Structure 1
Amino acid sequence: MPNSLLKRTLVVSALVAVGATAAVAPAQATGRFHNPANIAHHGASAAAPENTLVAIDLAYDQGADYAEVEIQRTSDGELVAIQDAGLARTTNVEEVFPGRSPYLVRDFTLAELRQLDAGSWFGAQFAGERIPTLSEVIAEAGYRDGIVIEIRNAALYPGIEEDVRDELAANPYYLVRALLLNKLVVKSASVDSANAFHALAPYVPVGVIYDFRPADADLVAVSEWAHEVDIVTSVADEAHIDRIKELGLKVSVHTVDTETLMTRYIDRDVNGIVTNVPALLAGLLD
């Protein structure tokens, strides 16, 4: 049996053995919480360069329950944490590799990305920070801290859902414990991508991210297989939040960076708040 298939088999077997209790069925995801989950957007991205290990580690230090990272794929098939399809905004790629415009993540190997500085753009004290792999993000979180994996720009990377599934399966002890402790969610702004990942790994909680107000029919359809929905503050009114919960979905709101908005959504009993300033939210939740 190929090693990757063996690992997936072991993971699935372990989940069956424990009753797959972490993979809460959509209809069971309606529990109300005293406090929402503190979800650090790209890590503690108001204080450190986004999607780097230093930002992720700082988020946990500041009280985040989860670090949310965006995952894309290199030209040689490695999964890395970066938000933009291009490298220019958050790295020195134009200096290191002049003439390779438009500097897309998918056009560079992991070895090439390792040569880039992903910290100096944010501050001199972060010089030398690198773009991390998904495997490194998992290692940074360990068993205690949560990760939200966002499959980013899915249309640019056919088959990336299977790659994410395989990367998680390659860390079977992490995966089983993370699921049992409710420390892992996979999300995408692409409904098709989120659904494809769910079909490949139904034991992993999955969510859809909306930057607009979805039609009710779309929410109904998503509720048949998803566990969570993320919505932006511009559409996150009380009626909308209640409707999402009514459909058996957890709801997170983002991006929320002021005390006023945080207090509003805490009072509305959302399941999660996505923020660039997890320390501020942690202080309100104490």
Structure 2
Amino acid sequence: MSMRRAVAAATGVLLGMSALTLTASPAYAADSQDTTSDGAPVVVAHRGASGYAPENTLAAVRKADKLGIDWVENDVQRTKDGELVVMHDTTLARTTNVEKLYPDRSPWNVSDFTAKEIARLDAGSWFSDAYAGEKVPTLEQYLRQINKSGQKLLLELKSPQLYPGIELQTLGELRSEGWADRAHLKDKLIIQSFDANSVKTTHTLNGSVKTGFLGNPKVSELASYAKFTDQINPTHSAVTKDYVDAVHSHKGVRGERMEVLTWTVNDASTARTVAKAGVDGIISNFPDVVRDATGG
């Protein structure tokens, strides 16, 4: 998406989606997004199938698809010139050759580079020579790949405090790529963040979007979180049956039972443990290992 289109999508989303967003319509609120399959937890490919391909790349999405994994997770940030790109770290140093191409621009923050500059980077060689030349995808490219493969998206707004207005811009991009329709909002999209205010903002802007809070609030705080989110998504070490049951005892902001998606589980034993605790989903770098262990 060009900068002009990105700005137009972001600033126009409140008007263009006024009948659909701002508050959850009864039609959407009545639809339950099923994230469970025959009682087994849903398996989500963390940053794509990042145990097998470079994280947050289109190659990782394609690998998840080849493994038969429906859900993929990614991280979204914004470039210096306002484009949305898929990258986990706020710096480009760990997963690209940015230090080689731009040696004098430490600390190589995503927000200090234009989309064109980031497009030059190699985001695959650090993982394996087999992925040399893999690029950092824009959100637009990522969404088109997922649409092509028929997969579903758990989208994380990464460090949103660094990118004012990224919630609105992301919703605009999703709308431009066809992700604001009934089918996608029903069972193909979740937006999550570690930042509670960002989750609240996302829900306020579009009450039909399913949201998740990354973390493990105290049981006594769950009722307050249920006012703006649909999921509590803790690290696996914080998962117990009692905690999951406590989350499940609340209805989320869209009127459905709150869910628990836990991360990042990469071995069969831990997968079986959290599944026994009753989680609704498991996020993994090796999603096939988790699926085989739990029947997800």
Same fold? TM cut 0.5: yes
CA distance in 1, matches of 2:222, 2:25: 32
Any unmatched runs of 5+ in structure 2?
A: 1-6, 252-257
Task: Confirm whether residue 160 of structure 1 aligns to residue 166 of structure 2.
Answer: yes
Aligned to 2:237: 234
User: CA offsets, 1:16-50, max 9 Å, x none?
Assistant: 889115765xxx99989512111111000000000
Distance 1:89 1:146, change over 3 A: same
Q: Say which of 109, 113, 128 aligns to 2:114.
A: 109
User: CA offsets, 1:230-268, max 9 Å, x none?
Assistant: 011111011111111112311011111111111122222
Aligned to 1:283: 292
CA distance in 2, matches of 1:85, 1:247: 34
Distance 1:191 1:29, change over 3 A: farther
SS of structure 1 residue aligned to 2:62: helix
User: CA offsets, 1:170-196, max 9 Å, x none?
Assistant: 12366432123x010000000111111
CA distance in 1, matches of 2:264, 2:75: 15
Structure 1 stretch displaced more, 81-90 or 139-148: 139-148
Task: Confirm whether residue 220 of structure 1 aligns to residue 223 of structure 2.
Answer: yes
User: CA offsets, 1:156-182, max 9 Å, x none?
Assistant: 1111111111111212366432123x0
CA distance in 2, matches of 1:275, 1:215: 24
Structure 1 stretch displaced more, 14-23 or 214-223: 14-23
Task: Confirm whether residue 146 of structure 1 aligns to residue 152 of structure 2.
Answer: yes
SS of structure 2 residue aligned to 1:172: coil
Asked if the contact 2:80–2:111 (Cα under 8 Å) also holds between the matched residues in 1, the reply is yes
Asked if the contact 2:36–2:42 (Cα under 8 Å) also holds between the matched residues in 1, the reply is no
CA distance in 1, matches of 2:143, 2:14: 17
Asked if the contact 1:29–1:250 (Cα under 8 Å) also holds between the matched residues in 2, the reply is no
Asked if the contact 1:11–1:172 (Cα under 8 Å) also holds between the matched residues in 2, the reply is no
Aligned length: 279
Structure 1 stretch displaced more, 195-204 or 168-177: 168-177
Q: Say which of 74, 77, 95 aligns to 1:72.
A: 77
Q: Say which of 193, 202, 207 aligns to 1:197.
A: 202
Asked if the contact 1:30–1:245 (Cα under 8 Å) also holds between the matched residues in 2, the reply is no
SS of structure 1 residue aligned to 2:28: coil
SS of structure 2 residue aligned to 1:142: helix
Asked if the contact 1:7–1:172 (Cα under 8 Å) also holds between the matched residues in 2, the reply is no
Aligned to 1:88: 93
SS of structure 1 residue aligned to 2:278: coil
Q: What root-mean-square deviation, in Å, do the aligned CA atoms of Structure 1 and Structure 2 show?
A: 2.6
SS of structure 2 residue aligned to 1:148: strand
CA distance in 2, matches of 1:115, 1:68: 24
Aligned to 2:41: 36
Any unmatched runs of 5+ in structure 1?
A: none
Aligned to 2:263: 254
Distance 1:48 1:178, change over 3 A: same
% identical equivalent positions? 32
Distance 1:237 1:18, change over 3 A: closer
- What is the identity, as a one-letter code, of the residue corresponding to 2:156? E
User: CA offsets, 1:173-227, max 9 Å, x none?
Assistant: 66432123x01000000011111111111111011001xx422343221111211
